[in-house]
Chain A
């Protein structure tokens, strides 16, 4: 549904985004993760034609975004919630978009209510909070009911209820066959939403895969009545171990392997779980060590 090949952007001789390629399938939510300055926004702007790539290309259902005569019906895009005229009202802003996209203006109030801005439609955007601006940007993205949603940090400034409703909305969009590309630098924002993670650091993709596999560490945390004996047995079985602050054993093996080793040695285990890395740990491991070119 959305493909990018070798997307590269060079500013003043410095590559900000380098050789990015990926394909997004319908029915999925993909998180585009990276710290500030990693190149996420530049990539999204290249995808949507706001920034011309130095090299490479992208396609939405086989065509570049700008080659579609009415691209708002292909992708709803929220790049910067503050990119609106503060003196105009939310309704006026959205009506302009509706006219440009050829959508009946009756859809405007409908989508404003959908995102929870029903009470603020006549208020100037300058008086909106950041969360309300995010909702307005989201309303703009959803206005045409497009199959693709591209959202740059949409959860910024939202209250817990807003975050929850956006998560639900994105999941239901994907469940209905839509494609979502969601960028964020707050890793915990996407762990309940994304099926797949594209992790970007210094303009390059450093990891790409399902979230479940990304957080899988091939490590186990085991607890038992005698953790010292458990650690000894695991070491004898060739499994690296280290104690955890709460008195458990962190073993460099899958729970099955740890369980087998303990069973063979007759050591009791009360609890064993797979150790899941936090996204922060993964990110810093994969991207943190890279030198900026």
Chain B
């Protein structure tokens, strides 16, 4: 009797005993109420709304979202006043560029908690069981990232245009007014590069604490390297394109900006690929 199914049972002892089965039939022609509901896709905006709800889903998230803008604006203002003499246009945009890396760090932390935390706590699973498209999931999170970027860049642009004239040396005058497009371009590009760094870390490290530790650790290291070996670091600095555009690059060429751009876009693609293939535990 061992190894055999009891009388009346279908024994499956693959591969030799398994019965070939016909393919599944076509869907029923008459639609039931659940079929009607199942055929209606929920809007992408609903998915984005859920990602925003998750961004502010916990008490610590909400604390970060309240403190983040304050830190962003206050530290940008502080750096602008602390920078001292600002005689040239490059000098005057320098505080804005300098604060691109550190000022949004709290808001970036909220973002890292959202994205890496989803994988750490496996809360991506209930989301993907309801909306299985990883592309939509990724795009919804990307929309949150872009919104945060617009906010960070907007706040930093506002600080540059409002605070810099006050902080600028009166003998040199305020020079950024002559080239507002350049100011917006530098800050928008730098802010995008900074938030992309946070995004890449959070996608590559599926653990919120680990990703936060890496991000918060890497940012000061980047600043130290920027000061200690600027001509070397610029080649891998995620902010190299913005620094080059701001004429603050230690190398007078577009090559470091291109190299850094290729590196970080490649890392973004790699992290996207990893997320798309990651097992949802």
Contacts and interface: CB of A to CB of B under 8 A. Distances in A.
- A and B bind: yes
B12 interface: yes
A147 interface: yes
Interface in B33-48: 34-35, 37-42, 46-47
A45 to B, nearest CB: 8
A62 B25 contact: yes
A123 interface: no
A204 B53 contact: no
B53 A73 contact: no
Given A5-B24, A73-B34, A213-B7, A285 B1 contact: yes
Interface stretch (A87-95, A181-189, A231-239): A87-95
Nearest to A290: B3
Interface string A140-177: 10001111000000000000000000000000000000
A72 B130 contact: yes
B229 interface: no
B111 to A, nearest CB: 15
Given A87-B57, A96-B54, A204-B14, A61 B126 contact: no
Nearest to B15: A19
A12 to B, nearest CB: 13
Interface string B92-127: 000000000000000000000000011001110111
B10 A96 contact: no
Contacts of B54: 85, 88, 96
Contact of A87 (B21, B24, B58, B118): B58
B42 A100 contact: yes
Contacts of B47: 100
SS of A interface (majority): mixed
Nearest to B21: A21
Nearest to A146: B34
Interface stretch (A31-39, A75-83, A106-114, A221-229): A75-83
Interface residues of B, number: 60
B27 A63 contact: yes
Interface stretch (A46-54, A241-249, A255-263, A264-272): A46-54
A286 interface: yes
B27 A145 contact: no
Given A102-B40, A218-B7, A140 B27 contact: no
Nearest to A22: B21
B12 A18 contact: no
A292 to B, nearest CB: 14
7 contacts: A21-B18, A85-B54, A96-B54, A101-B42, A102-B40, A206-B12, A218-B7
A145 B34 contact: yes
B130 A71 contact: yes
> Which among A68, A93, A100, A146 has the greatest number of chain B C-beta atoms within 10 A?
A100
Given A23-B21, A82-B122, A62 B27 contact: yes
Given A50-B129, A72-B129, A96-B53, A208 B10 contact: yes
B34 A97 contact: no
Interface string B46-74: 11011001100111110000000000000
Contacts of B269: none
